[in-house]
Amino acid sequence: MIYREMLAQDYSAAYKLWENTEGMGLSAADSEEEITRYLQRNAGLSQICEDEDGNVAGTALCGHDGRRGFMYHVAVSTSCRGRGVGRELVNRCLNNLREEGIAKCHLMVIGDNELGRGFWSGVGWQFRDGLALYSQDT
Ligand SMILES: CC(C)(COP(=O)(O)OP(=O)(O)OC[C@H]1O[C@@H](n2cnc3c(N)ncnc32)[C@H](O)[C@@H]1OP(=O)(O)O)[C@@H](O)C(=O)NCCC(=O)NCCS
C-alpha cells in the first residue's frame, strides 16, 4: 500500500470510490471544483492510499479552520477493508494537523452508519453525546 497526499488530480478516482461507498453522503459540495478548492486550501493534509496496481484503496479529506481540524470522506474500498488502511489514513491526517498546531479534530458521521460509528470508536475517537448540528445556506 502506498500512502501520500491526496491531490486535485486524484478527484475522479476518489469520487468513484465515494459513490460506491455505502454510508457516504455526497452533495454539490463534492464537485471537482469544490474538492479541488478544499484540497488547495488545506494543502498537505488530506491523504490517499493506493494499492500495488495504482487503484485507490482509501481516502481521507482533512482540513482545519485555524482552531480545530475536520475530516471528511474517510472511505476504504470493500476489498481493502480490515487491513488497517482506514486507521493509517486517519493517523496520518492527525499527525499532519498536529504538525500545524491543531490540537483536536472533529468528524461527522451519518447517525445510522453503524459501520462508520464502529470504526471511529474502534480507533479510539470519543463519541460526543449532547451536541446538535445546525446548518444554513450562505
Ligand atoms: C469505516 C472504514 C473507513 C474502515 O476502514 P478499514 O480500513 O476497514 O478500517 P481498519 O482496518 O483501519 O480498522 C481500524 C480498527 O477499527 C476497527 N473497526 C473497523 N471497523 C469497525 C467496526 N465497524 N466496528 C468495530 N470496529 C471496527 C478494526 O477492528 C480495527 O481495529 P484493530 O486495529 O484493533 O484491529 C471502512 O469500513 C469504510 O470505508 N466504510 C464505509 C465508509 C464509512 O462509513 N466511513 C466512515 C464514516 S465518515
The CA 137 to ligand 1 mean position distance, Å, reads 32
For the domain that residue 112 is a member of, what is the CATH number? Answer: 3.40.630.30
- Establish if 85 belongs to a structural domain: yes
Which CB contacts under 8 angstroms, 24+ apart, belong to 63-66? 63/38, 64/97, 64/100, 64/102, 64/105
Q: Give CA–CA dist 33/28, Å, rounded.
A: 10
The CA 68 to ligand 1 mean position distance, Å, reads 23
Number of domains in the chain: 1
The pLDDT score that the predictor gives to residue 61 is: 98
Start-to-end C-alpha separation, the chain: 40
Testing ligand 1's pocket by substitution, the residue of 119, 123, 125, 127 carrying the most ligand atoms inside 8 A of its CB is 119
The pLDDT score that the predictor gives to residue 136 is: 97
pTM, two decimal places: 0.96
Residue with cell 469544490: 34
Q: How buried is residue 2: exposed, middle or buried, by Cβ count under 10 Å (0-12/13-18/19+)?
A: exposed
- Look up the domain containing 83 and give its range: 2-122
- Establish if 138 belongs to a structural domain: no
The CA 136 to ligand 1 mean position distance, Å, reads 31
Instruction: List the 56-64 sheet strands across, edge first.
Output: 2-5, 47-50, 56-64, 69-76, 105-107
Q: Give CA–CA dist 86/40, Å, rounded.
A: 23
The pLDDT score that the predictor gives to residue 23 is: 83
**pLDDT tens, the chain, 138 aa long:** 999 999 999 999 999 999 999 988 899 999 999 999 999 999 999 999 999 999 999 999 999 999 999 999 999 999 999 999 999 999 999 999 999 999 999 999 999 999 999 999 999 999 999 999 999 999
Which residues, judged by CB distance below 6 Å to any ligand atom, belong to the binding site of ligand 1? 21, 23-24, 74-76, 81-87, 109, 113, 115-116, 118-119, 122-123
- Establish if 61 belongs to a structural domain: yes
